[in-house]
Structure 1
Amino acid sequence: MPTPFLLLPLATLALAAWVTWLAIHYAIRRRLVDLPGERRSHQVTTPRGGGIGIVASQVFACSVLAFLYPAYAFALLVFAVGLLLVAGIGWWDDHRPLPALPRLGVHLLASLMLGGVVLGATGDPLKAAFCAFLAVSLINIWNFMDGINGLAASQAALVGIGVAVLLPWPLGIAGAVLAAGCLGFLPFNFPRARIFMGDVGSGALGYLVAGLLALGMCTTVLAPPLWLVLPSVFLVDAGFTLLARILKGERWMQPHTQHLYQRFVKRGRSHAIVTVMYASLTLSGVAFTVFFSSLPLGWGWAGGLGWGAALAAAWGFLRIGLFNKDDD
């Protein structure tokens, strides 16, 4: 394996850790903190905004890869600008909360930029539209699911590992650097949180995951549902929780504690146990995807759709057990 493929993830990890450490001191000095509350899963006041370390590491990695591979420089530049837009509006929101509409507008713009990259690479408008929709969805899903220690970063790291295994090199380096950036942040957030990711990190992770999935869909012949197995734990918990709230006529954009991971915590499970549970399921999904990737395309479609259906059924079963009228 060429030396850059070994050194770049290590440099990415180190940069993420260093910037996260700086972010802790910045947040304390600026009183940028999350307070405990009824809609929160933590019990102590904690600094936020540590996700800036992951963002810095990924922008750095994009710059290095653009230098090493000039043919991909423009696509990497557009993607990095989209990442900075998502992270920037999140950073602003961490400091001074914004209405939903401006944030969604920026998310849509960044997602359309990713769709434009896909269109330029494939000439397929349907694939480009799907990737743009996936990006705006995952930006918000990662934000919704970033509620307990280590959950959002560990899930993104596992998606990165899956992509690194599934894609041929040098393309697989993209998954490796995302995993490395998340691993640089995780010691500050798991099992005990010295800092939270904040919107600057959660939205950016959703965009980064979308970028990896778009890369896989553009450069391989694997069935799209198989790629969606990688973030399926978040897709199912966030998506079906949102659908349930809409069907009940609730104000679905308001903060709540109805995701399964939040209910597990309310029932007495520790953040560490729940994060490990979700990580174990996603790791199983990675192994499942790797296995089905070696089978004919039709098996990939069947496997991806079957995994999604099984996960949705499990979500419904657990929801019945974890919810009751007194909890609501």
Structure 2
Amino acid sequence: MYILGSCIAFFILSLLFTGYMRHYALKKNIIDNPNERSSHSVPTPRGGGVAVVLSYLLALSFLIYTNQLNNDIGLTLIGAGLVISVLGFLDDHGHINSMIRLAIHFIAAISAVASLGGFSAVAVFNGFQLGFAANIIAVLFLVWLLNLYNFMDGINGIASAEAITSALSMAFLYWMLSPVLNFQALLLLAAAVSGFMLWNFPKAKIFMGDACSGFLGLTLGILALYALKQDLALFCAWLICLGVFIVDATYTLIRRILTGHKMYDAHRSHAYQILSRKVGSHTPVTLCVAAINILWLFPIAYLVASQDYTYPELGILIAYMPLIACAVIVKAGDPYA
């Protein structure tokens, strides 16, 4: 009952603060006008995700203050998340140079990896150690997840649905399998995002904005890496639960690069964008993503995390194969699809 009350409180806080952010965005003319990357046709205020950021940072502070969350992961999430959210907030108000933005992403990722104690001792594939290279991979993982979450925040509710279903899935796994890891932090994240989602789905009254999309990507990435410190199988479960976003963004980027497009050019050729145009609505696509996460990815993640497999990494391949096939079929990355 205690955690339920906390979830309700932070859900309401996020819900109310999103309403305030909508009023603020309209007053300051912070409007997202349709462009070549957009899947929207109507100018809409943006920056509502600030409500998620502030609500969740308060939730983390609450968990730390009540000794329900370790300082190492709690302060890492607050510090790195605050930097990225402020950067995104400034970018929502006025364009920031892409190289400066990327440099700050790397600084935040490097700081997070260092704060977590590094990953040189982590072994994969039944004992193979990458040494210091594991730290480099961890940094690249955070930067990519941060940016891909921004890329995937393109239709009503999809970024929120991904965060909520992934957080709840992993909270259940933590509760069932790993008392070392804090499932309350995941429940409160889902609650904060849910408060915003009511303003963004099925009809968007306000968009999330870079302040929140990057924050969510980085937060989920840090939580995944923290799980890696405890159990490789739980890290694999994280990658499985985030499979829709990882596969769509990565496959689309690779195909665009191979066909001669610049990786930073605006576009709307992700699989989810193509599907939303084909069906003529955002709602079915967002609901489909949530269904895939719950009915396909979560059961595989549970099996990978709950069983003592020699190679839990194979679960990622099994989970991703249909997602890759879907990306191929809908021609993700093809600007003419």
TM-score, normalised via structure 1 length: 0.91
Contact 2:15-2:195 at 8 Å conserved across structures: yes
Following TM superposition, by how much is the alpha carbon of 1:128 offset from its aligned partner in structure 2, in angstroms? Answer: 4.2
Query: How far is the alpha carbon of 1:67 from its aligned partner?
Result: 0.8
Q: In the alignment, is residue 274 of structure 1 matched against residue 285 of structure 2?
A: yes
Give the Cα–Cα distance (whole angstroms) in 1 for the partners of residues 274 and 323 of structure 2: 17
Verify the 8 A CA contact 1:131 1:210 in the aligned structure 2: no
Q: In structure 2, what residue type is equivalent to 1:259?
A: H
Normalised to the residue count of structure 2, the TM-score between the two structures is 0.89
Q: CA offsets per residue over residues 155-181 of structure 1, 9 Å max, x none? A: 011110111011135611121111111
RMSD: 2.2
In structure 2, the partner of 1:47 is 45
Instruction: Please say if 1:158 is aligned against 2:165.
Output: yes
2:164 is matched by which residue type in structure 1?
A
Higher helix fraction (1 or 2): 1
**Which one is further off, 115-124 or 6-15?**
115-124
Q: Is the 8 A contact 2:236 2:301 kept in 1?
A: no
Aligned residue type for 2:103: G
Distance (Å, rounded) in 2 between the aligned partners of 1:300 and 1:126:
21
Which residue of structure 1 lines up, in the alignment, with residue 143 of structure 2? 136
Give the direction of change, closer, same or farther, for the CA distance of 1:30–1:242 in structure 2 (3 Å limit). Answer: same
Measured after TM superposition, the shift of residue 132 of structure 1 is: 2.4
Q: Which amino acid aligns with 1:108?
A: F
Distance across 1 between alignment mates of 2:69 and 2:165: 28
CA distance 1:32–1:75, shift in 2 (3 Å): same
In structure 2, give the amino acid aligned to 1:28. Answer: L
Task: Mark the runs of 5 or more structure 1 residues left unpaired by the alignment.
Answer: none
Per-residue deviation, 1:123 = 5.9
Distance between the aligned counterparts of 2:36 and 2:69, measured in 1?
A: 51
Distance 2:327 2:87 in 1: 32
**Structure 2 residue 232 is the aligned partner of structure 1 residue 216:** no
Question: Do the aligned residues in 2 keep the contact of 1:114 with 1:131 (CA within 8 Å)?
Answer: no
CA distance in 2, matches of 1:61, 1:76: 10
Partner of 1:206: 217
- Report the Cα distance in structure 1 between the residues aligned to 2:136 and 2:183, rounded to whole angstroms: 24
State whether residues 118 and 127 of structure 1, in contact with CA within 8 Å, keep that contact through their aligned partners in structure 2. Answer: no
Alignment of 1:72-151 (within 5 A): 72-119=70-117, 124=122, 125=132, 127-151=134-158
Per mean C-alpha deviation after superposition, the further-off stretch among 19-28 and 209-218 is 209-218
Amino acid at match of 2:88: G
Cα deviations by residue, 1:16-72 (Å, 9 ceiling, x for unpaired): 112111100000000000112343111211100001011011111111111122882
Q: Which amino acid aligns with 2:287?
A: V
What CA deviation, in whole Å up to 9, does each residue of 1:187-243 have, x standing for no partner? Answer: 000000010001111111101111221222222351643321011100010001000
- Give the whole-Å Cα distance in 2 for the aligned partners of 1:21 and 1:238: 30
The answer as to 2:310 corresponding to 1:298 is yes
Equivalent residue number for residue 63 of structure 1: 61
Q: Are 2:243 and 1:245 equivalent residues in the alignment? A: no
**8 Å CA contact 1:223, 1:301 repeated in 2:** no
List runs of 5+ in structure 2 lacking aligned partners: 123-131
Tell me how far apart the structure 1 counterparts of residues 68 and 281 of structure 2 sit (CA, whole Å).
47
Summarize deviations over 1:272-328 as a string: whole Å, max 9, x none.
0111111111222112211332222226222222222332233212328x95x8x26
- CA distance in 2 between counterparts of 1:41 and 1:143 reads 14
User: For residues 289 and 75 of structure 1, do their structure 2 counterparts lie closer, same or farther at Cα, with a shift above 3 Å needed?
Assistant: closer
Q: Are the aligned partners of 1:225 and 1:305 in contact in 2 as well (CA < 8 Å)? A: no
User: Residue type matched to 2:274 in 1?
Assistant: R
Between the two proteins, the alignment pairs up a number of residues equal to: 323
